[in-house]
Structure 1
Amino acid sequence: MPTIPDNLRVYAVGDIHGRLDLLTTLHEAIDEDAELHPGPQCIEVYLGDYVDRGPQSASVIDALMERMRTRNAVCLTGNHEDIMLQALTSQEAFADWLRVGGLETVFSYVRPSGTLDQSQLWNEWRTGMRADHVAFLTQLETSYVCGDYLFVHAGLRPGLSLAAQERNDLLWIRREFLDYPHSFGHLVVHGHTPISSPEVLSNRINIDTGAYATGHLTCLVLEGVDRFLIST
């Protein structure tokens, strides 16, 4: 059985996508669980895709930054954070980002008065984008290992060591990873591919339950060989 090292408990959280309401509810549940079961050191791991589609992306980032200040929290990057960073320096990337939910994120930072064309909106958003949020986004890790578990946003390319993985695969891969039936060397905990309920397989666990659309934000709790789920 895959295991977490002694005296540790991990709370792994799936894709949030701008749903501050769900994240707040889940944080309350995590805090309650930690209080009811004291002892182990608690680590929170967030699997990326904090922004886009939902209405409160900027506030979600604030909440995660506060969590990093007050808890032992690890925030990984998702493909949506990657696109958001590219949109800061490229109007073409900005246009691509708007098509995958970026407009909701833009409006969580700025509320333009009147109708703006895309170029004007891009400039207003860049002006309104907070420096501390840019720093947060640029410092996100791509993966995290704890015991027999590996945490990543999208997955791994089969046949390659973690050190040999390409960033693009860690943030974007789907079919080659999802269809692979064998071990990756670690049990991989991931998001990126929305499903109706968590998928627990021998080589991977998917906890992206499409929170922005379903209202279900999922947390996988790991301690020793035990694991269970908390969901909104």
Structure 2
Amino acid sequence: MRSYAIGDIHGHFDLLRAAHARIAKDKAACGDTDAPVVHIGDLVDRGPDSRAVIDYLARGIAAGENWVVLKGNHDRMFSLFLDNPTAQDPGLRAEFSYLHPRIGGGPTLASYGVANASDRPLAPVHAEAVAAVPAEHRAFLASRPAYYAYAEALFVHAGIRPGVAIKDQAEDDLVWIRDPFLGYRGSFPRLLVHGHTALAGAVHYGNRLNIDSSAGYGGPLTAVVLEGRAVSILADGGRAPLLPTPDAPIR
């Protein structure tokens, strides 16, 4: 059973459209138009077009596209900021806020027309953001699932806590976890496909596949095709098999 996955987008609408084009080309070559396309989360922040990303994905799903869009920690932080600008996501370090440059909320708000958010008082910025972000976008972000199981793969934004059944996983872990997940060398019931921890390129560790190739930091946006546990990266020229390298350095 074939599926596709796209890594952390971080507001790069141009890269998202290009990834979808590569997937469409592969689907046409396979004659498989129904395979799901899973977006691994972190739709927003850092990049310039978060509004366009959300609008495109929400409209596509509403139109019947077989797309799955998971919740990432940045998507959750954006929703939380709109609900309560002084609230702190439990996964975010205390010295950071949503509008801190390292988090990248400012560019997200700018995509909705709220300019210079990081340089102005919080109250008016929040009021402008609440007025600018469509209710449909807020509802879309709030309703995103935290994981998706299909065939031999389990898709999740950050990872899972080893030894805990998926139904018992805490959302904080699903959208934020690094250790002990990244260092776990044991097997999972399914291949874990995730993002969240930015790398220079996708890495297949054998038990898990990290497809966050640092689009939020100027890197490419990875799209992959999975057939069983076999993985290929989709490049402009076609498929490039991504073989397991269990001894790859852990990030």
Runs of 4+ in 1 over 6 A off after TM superposition: none
Residue number among 53, 56, 67 corresponding to 1:60 in the alignment: 53
Aligned length: 225
Q: 1:73 — aligned with what?
A: 67
- CA drift at 1:110: 1.8
Change (3 A) 1:33 1:119: same
* AA in 1 matched with 2:78: M
Q: Give the SS at the match of 1:96.
A: coil
Q: Which runs of 5+ in 1 are unaligned?
A: none
Matched, 1:192 2:196: yes
**Greater relative contact order structure (CA < 8 Å, 6+ sep):** 1
- CA drift at 1:32: 1.4
- Output aligned runs, 1:52-201, within 5 Å: 52-68=45-61, 69-93=63-87, 96-99=97-100, 100-112=103-115, 116-201=120-205
Residue number among 10, 13, 23 corresponding to 2:6 in the alignment: 13
CA deviation profile, 1:76-107 (whole Å, cap 9, x unmatched): 00000111111112121388111111011011
* AA in 2 matched with 1:84: F
Q: 2:222 — aligned with what?
A: 218
Q: Which runs of 5+ in 2 are unaligned?
A: 89-95, 237-251
* AA in 1 matched with 2:11: G
Name the % identity: 39
Q: Which stretch of the first structure deviates more once superposed, 141-150 or 92-101? A: 92-101
Change (3 A) 1:113 1:195: closer
TM-score, normalised by the number of residues in structure 2? 0.84
CA deviation profile, 1:128-186 (whole Å, cap 9, x unmatched): 11011011101100000012210000000011110111010000000210001101221
Contact 1:15 1:211 in 2 (8 A): yes
Residue number among 190, 210, 216 corresponding to 1:206 in the alignment: 210
- CA drift at 1:119: 1.3
Q: Residues of 2 paired with 1:174 and 1:224: CA distance?
A: 25
Contact 2:109 2:115 in 1 (8 A): no
Change (3 A) 1:41 1:155: same
> What's the C-alpha RMSD, in Å, of the aligned pairs?
1.9
Change (3 A) 1:185 1:120: same
Q: 2:15 — aligned with what?
A: 22
Q: Residues of 1 paired with 2:198 and 2:224: CA distance?
A: 15
Q: Residues of 1 paired with 2:229 and 2:86: CA distance?
A: 47
Q: Give the SS at the match of 2:35.
A: strand
Contact 1:83 1:93 in 2 (8 A): no
Contact 2:191 2:229 in 1 (8 A): no
Matched, 1:43 2:47: no
- CA drift at 1:212: 2.5
